[in-house]
Amino acid sequence: MTNIAKGLEGVLFTESRLTFINGTEGILTHLGIPIQEWAEKSTFEELSLALLNGRLPSADELAAFDAELKANRTVSQQLLDVIAAMPKGVHPMQALRTAVSYLGLLDPQAEETTEEARRAISIRMIAQFPTVIAAIRRAQEGQEVVAPRTDLTHAGNFLYMLTGREPSAEQARLFDIALVLHADHGMNASTFTAIATSSTLSDMYSCITSAIGALKGPLHGGANEAVMDMLDEIGSPEGAADYITGKLDRKEKIMGVGHRVYKYFDPRSRVLRDYAEHVANKEGKSRYYQTLETIEKIVVDRMGSKGIYPNVDFYSGTVYSDLGIGKEDFTPIFALARISGWCASVIEYTRDNRLLRPDAVYTGETDRHYVGMEERGSELQAAEG
């Protein structure tokens, strides 16, 4: 019998020097450096450049990259007008998909596919995603769009543009850490999608628009929002045990737990839990945090032996929520971080490009002939009956 790797599980289709994951031991490294060290010691800007370059940058390189990001934060009025004209009530991921595609229409370099062009476009997109995502939120709320500032970090400037208030240094750093944790994660569905698009030698904006579509789904980036929906449905920490036990008894999926690769704690979820706990202890345990603690305990007790543990999306929502961000923006924020991984992976893959074109085992009928419309009635009845 032919072996089918359902969901492409375990299929190796390329080599990469960017990210390593050991799912059984819960290890994640970028360029060989553990994610915990990136979170503790680095910044989103530095990790983005390191991923693009495939090595740690020098101080001068990082300063130049930071300046380039800052210089590219502003988006054109034409794009802001398109964002303002979008129907109210659409999901921000729908809006982001359209906005990024439109960004490509405005970029004279958009169709260039040399490594140099892909890199220049990547830097512009990394710089502009926060501006676009904040503008989408504010336009949806009927608020004035807030122009970017160049005296704030990438993370701090986003929070400022989103809320119109300058965040505290601690808030900006917490958000920066969340971005670091989400910046890259190997051959996940959206990165794979970006690479699949690039493998046809399509342009960078098409790659990233495809990736946004893949990230949007609740089994991938949409899970962080789904976790908050679940917490809202549960209502109070007291209701958590019955709710989760009931779901597990009915064999329903719990959002924010389980992972194709991790069969142990996702290390990113541990870092986020520590920060969520820190915030909770400082400001009084939020109901969300208490509910998640209860869910984690039950899931690990009942499902740990099956390799089901909290993933990155389990605690990210509470952290964002503590920063005053609404749940509809959680997935766009995932994109705001993952753009670096998408771009770096596309650039790495296209250096030794080969068209991605898997195959399926054909299980349909063979040896048939076309049936004319006048004879098709009985044939259709037979097929249905």
Ligand X SMILES: CC(C)(COP(=O)(O)OP(=O)(O)OC[C@H]1O[C@@H](n2cnc3c(N)ncnc32)[C@H](O)[C@@H]1OP(=O)(O)O)[C@@H](O)C(=O)NCCC(=O)NCCS
Catalytic residues: 220, 259, 313
Q: CB 20 → ligand X: shortest distance, Å? A: 17
Pick between residue 200 and residue 245 the one whose CB is nearest to ligand X: 245
Q: What is the DSSP string of 115-177?
A: HHHHHHHHHHHHHHHHHHHHHHHHHHTTPPPPPP-SSS-HHHHHHHHHHSSPPPHHHHHHHHH
Binding to ligand X by residue 278, rule CB under 6 A? Answer: no
Residue 44 near residue 154 (C-beta atoms within 8 A): yes
Binding to ligand X by residue 372, rule CB under 6 A? Answer: no
**Adjacent-strand bridge partners of 27:** 22
Alpha carbon separation from 211 to 51, 67, 80 (Å, rounded): 17, 27, 22
Binding to ligand X by residue 182, rule CB under 6 A? Answer: no
How many chain residues interact with ligand X (CB under 6 A)?
16
Look at residues 163, 135, 177 and name the one whose alpha carbon lies nearest to residue 315.
177
Pick between residue 255 and residue 346 the one whose CB is nearest to ligand X: 255
Binding to ligand X by residue 287, rule CB under 6 A? Answer: no
Of the listed pieces 43-51, 107-115, 303-311, 318-326, which binds ligand X according to CB under 6 A? 303-311
Q: CB 272 → ligand X: shortest distance, Å? A: 12
Q: CB 260 → ligand X: shortest distance, Å? A: 4
C-alpha–C-alpha distance, residues 152 and 156, integer Å: 6
Closest residue to ligand X, judged by C-beta, is 258
Here's the x/- map for ligand X, 238-277, by CB under 6 A: it reads as ---------------xxxxxxxx-----------------
CA atoms within 13 A on the CB side of 30: 31
Alpha carbon separation from 328 to 273, 310, 334 (Å, rounded): 21, 21, 11
**376 is written with which tokens?**
């098709």
Pick between residue 13 and residue 113 the one whose CB is nearest to ligand X: 13
Look at residues 275, 306, 336 and name the one whose alpha carbon lies nearest to residue 93.
336
Q: CB 86 → ligand X: shortest distance, Å? A: 27
Q: What is the DSSP string of 333-366?
A: HHHHHHHHHHHHHHHHHHTT-----------S--
Which amino acid belongs to residue 80? L
Pick between residue 171 and residue 269 the one whose CB is nearest to ligand X: 269
Q: Which of 5, 88, 151, 306 binds ligand X (CB under 6 A)?
A: 306
Q: Which of 177, 215, 312, 319 binds ligand X (CB under 6 A)?
A: 312
What is the footprint of ligand X within residues 48-77 (CB under 6 A)? none
**333 is written with which tokens?**
């924020």
Pick between residue 41 and residue 297 the one whose CB is nearest to ligand X: 297
Interface contacts to ligand X, rule CB under 6 A: 7, 219, 223, 253-260, 306, 308, 311-313
